[in-house]
Amino acid sequence: MNVDPEGLVKFLKRDIAYAESHKRTGGPSYVLVLGCSTGYGLASRIVSAFSYGAATVGVSFERKPSEGKQGTPGFYNNEAFEAEAKKRNISAVTFEGDAFSLAVKNTVIAEAKRAGKKFDLVIYSLATAVRTDERTGESYRSVLKPLHAPYSAKSLDFITGEVKPVTIEPATEEEARATVKVMGGEDWMDWMKSLAEAGVLAEGVTTLAYSYIGPAVTYPIYREGTIGKAKEHLENSAATITNALSNIHGRAYVSVNKALVTRASAVIPVVPLYISILFKVMKQRGTHEGCIEQMERLFSERLYTGGPVPVDEDGRIRIDDREMQSDVQEEVSRLMEHATTENIASIADLEGYRRDFLALHGFESL
Q: Examine residue 279 and state whether it is found in any structural domain, yes or no.
A: no
Dihedral angle computed from the Cα positions of residues 51, 55, 61 and 62, in that order, rounded to the nearest 10 degrees: 70
Q: Examine residue 80 and state whether it is found in any structural domain, yes or no.
A: yes
Number of domains in the chain: 1
Q: Examine residue 233 and state whether it is found in any structural domain, yes or no.
A: yes
- Catalytic residues, by residue number, are 222
Q: Examine residue 168 and state whether it is found in any structural domain, yes or no.
A: no
Q: Examine residue 163 and state whether it is found in any structural domain, yes or no.
A: no
Q: What is the pLDDT of residue 133?
A: 86
Contact 353, 158 (CB under 8 A): yes
Q: What is the pLDDT of residue 193?
A: 97
Which residues partner with 124 through β-bridges? Answer: 34, 209
Contact 122, 192 (CB under 8 A): yes
Tell me the pLDDT of the chain (366 aa) as tens digits.
689 999 999 999 999 999 999 999 999 999 999 999 999 999 999 999 999 999 999 999 998 888 878 999 999 999 999 999 999 999 999 999 999 999 999 999 999 999 999 999 999 999 888 998 888 888 999 988 899 899 888 889 988 999 999 898 999 999 999 999 999 999 999 999 999 999 999 999 999 999 999 898 888 888 889 989 999 999 999 999 999 999 999 999 999 999 998 877 777 778 899 999 999 999 999 999 999 999 999 999 999 999 999 999 999 999 999 999 999 999 999 999 999 999 999 999 999 999 999 999 999 854
For the entire predicted model, the pTM comes to 0.95
| Host domain of residue 238 | 5-144+174-267+291-324
Q: Examine residue 161 and state whether it is found in any structural domain, yes or no.
A: no
- The CA distance from 145 to 221, in Å, is 6
Q: Examine residue 91 and state whether it is found in any structural domain, yes or no.
A: yes
Burial zone of 68 (CB within 10 Å; 0-12 exposed, 13-18 middle, 19+ buried): exposed
Amino acid at 3: V
Contact 164, 141 (CB under 8 A): no
Numbers of helices and strands, H then E, in the chain: 12, 11
Q: Examine residue 278 and state whether it is found in any structural domain, yes or no.
A: no
CATH of the domain at 257: 3.40.50.720
Read off φ and ψ for residue 280, nearest 5 degrees.
-60, -45
> Cα-atom radius of gyration of the chain, to the nearest Å?
20
**Separation in Å, CA 244 to CA 205, 237, 238, 241, 310:** 12, 11, 10, 5, 21
Q: What is the pLDDT of residue 366?
A: 47
